[in-house]
Amino acid sequence: MEEPLSALRREIEDSIAVKQRLLADEALLAGVLRVADAMADAALRGNRVLFAGNGGSAADAQHLAAELVSRFEFDRPGLPALSLATDTSMLTAIGNDYGYEQLFRRQLQAQSRPGDVFVGITTSGRSKNVLAAFHACRALQVTSVALCGQGGDLESQVDHLLRVPSAHTARIQECHILLGHMLCAHVERRVFAHLRPVPLPS
């Protein structure tokens, strides 16, 4: 049986190894910049970014929406963003009336406007309610972005695909929040380039 301390070290090493693969993936990093620019363009037009996911990905959706609405690296006006995974009354009503697979599609139909950006977070690449939302995006004129791992067949279903080079759920989630922070930082810097960044207190 593996020693507890050895197990901890191995998990850290595994996490670093996935991030090293991410760092070496030039196509993925270029994709991050394209998505960040799409998000920044939406904000500059007065549109917003909508996030969704299940379980840990729901927490990431809420986290990233909050980073845009509040602030990330420096003080500035809020950016329009929304998590579709946080309103329990909304989720239970739609789940009860239309089924769990329609949770995010139904909200997109009600909440999105042409020019918005939808970021669907699915570690497996197969979450049915996220896939249903992707399918709705084209008719709604919403730019679709998938944050996923190595699973799923999403290439033809979304406008932008950010695929973490791992099949391990925890490692994928760790990289999703890293990629999400990179997106928020780029959007903030670009939209508020005219403001002098004020460092947050340490």
CATH number at residue 114: 3.40.50.10490
Residues 190 and 177: their CA atoms lie apart, in Å, by 20
Model pLDDT, residue 201: 62
| Position 4 in a domain | no
Helix pair 169-191, 56-69: axis angle to 10 deg:
10
Find the domain containing 177 and state its range: 10-191
> Which segments within 20-102 are labelled E, that is strand?
49-53, 81-83
Which pLDDT score is estimated for 48? 97
Q: Could you tell me if residue 61 is inside a domain? A: yes
Mean pLDDT, the chain cut into blocks of 10 residues (202 residues total): 89 96 97 98 98 98 98 94 97 97 98 98 98 98 98 96 97 98 96 76 62
Amino acid 125: pLDDT: 97
- Judge whether 117 lies within some domain: yes
| Residue 1 forms part of a structural domain | no
Q: Is residue 142 part of a domain?
A: yes
For residue 200, the model assigns a pLDDT of 58
3-state secondary structure of 74: strand
Q: 53: which strand partners?
A: 121
State the total domains in the chain. Answer: 1
Among candidates 200, 176, 188, 153, which has minimal Cα distance to 67? 188
Q: Is residue 201 part of a domain?
A: no
pLDDT of residue 2: 79
The answer to whether residue 127 is domain-embedded is: yes
In terms of residues, how long is the chain?
202
Inside any domain, residue 162: yes
| pLDDT value, residue 146 | 98
pTM of the model: 0.94
